[in-house]
Amino acid sequence: MIDLEKKEDEQQKQTVEQRSGLRELFELFSLTGFVYGPLDSRLNIREALEKNLKKPVPPHVNWLFCFGGISLFLFTIQAVTGILLLMYYRPTIAEAYKSVVYITNSVPFGWLIRGLHHWGANLMIVMVFLHMLRVFFYGAYKPPRDFNWVTGVMLLVLTLGFGFTGYLLPWNQISYWATTVGTEVPGAVPFIGTYLTALIRGGQAIGQTTLTRFFAIHVVILPLTIGFFLLGHFFMIRKQGISGPF
């Protein structure tokens, strides 16, 4: 009896709230209300969220499986700090070094943002490598995950590409001369070597064209390409699931 009365009370309350429209208004403006209300009725958000959040993680997953996730986290750190650096960095041979000094010494927390980008890059390469070693020793690259291994190697190459192109951008002694030596390497390719080096440098020597080129590759071309491969990598993980125990 008491339960029934309670239920009736609640129903009455709800109708009063609905009549006032306040609750609906509140739910619409609060994120949960919007996501679970109008958006859910169109896109089935609730079902998708529950399916994804309640998906069981197999019990054999141990701490060795965390390197891929850490790599993704470091990638987002690189994206965010990179965008913030873009606000002050100037990609010309006259201004690049000065702008980096300005970022480090004068921009509020500029030292922190630049430091995070610097150390995040180094740590990301470590984590990507550890992730690859885990996948290798667990034999997780075998079918049906063979194509995901291929996207993974592409992600490794792209990460190294980020490292190589980003290294030149501060336009200091080490970056200038390391890039001079590094861009000589493709010159050893038979027949087309000299053309390759000229293509990468945008001329015979490292100069403004090289800096512009590396800047464009570092902030536009590589992020777009790595985004494409990341999506493929994650869709395949989601579809095929985490690899089982041995």
Partner 1 sequence: MIDEAKEDRRAEGDPFFPHHMLEQGMVIFIVLGVLVLLVMMWPAPMEPPADPFNTPEHIKPEWYFLSAYQGLKVAEYFAFLGDWAPKVLGILGQGVGILLLILLPFLDRNPERHPRKRRFVIGVGILVIIMLAALTIWGKLS
Query: 74 to 113, contacts with partner 1 by CB under 8 A?
Result: 74, 77, 93, 97, 100-101, 104, 111-112
- Contact status: 1 vs partner 1 (CB under 8 A): no
Interface residue with partner 1 among 11, 44, 119, 227 (CB under 8 A) is 119
- Contact status: 153 vs partner 1 (CB under 8 A): yes
- Contact status: 203 vs partner 1 (CB under 8 A): no
- Contact status: 174 vs partner 1 (CB under 8 A): yes
Q: What angle do CA 153, 157, 162 make, to 5 degrees?
A: 145
Interface residue with partner 1 among 66, 80, 130, 230 (CB under 8 A) is 66
Interface residue with partner 1 among 33, 35, 79, 172 (CB under 8 A) is 172
Distance CA 137, CA 72 (A): 21
SS3 7: helix
Interface residue with partner 1 among 25, 61, 86, 192 (CB under 8 A) is 61
Distance CA 195, CA 201 (A): 10
For 87-118, b/e burial (b = at least 16 CB within 10 A) is eebebeeeebbebbeebeeebeebeebbebbe
Least spacing, CB of residue 4 vs partner 1, in Å: 28
Least spacing, CB of residue 133 vs partner 1, in Å: 7
**Contacts (CB under 8 A) with partner 1, residues 8-47:** none
Distance CA 58, CA 82 (A): 35
Please give the radius of gyration of the chain, using alpha carbons only, rounded to the nearest integer: 26
Of 78 and 223, the one with the shorter C-beta distance to partner 1 is: 78
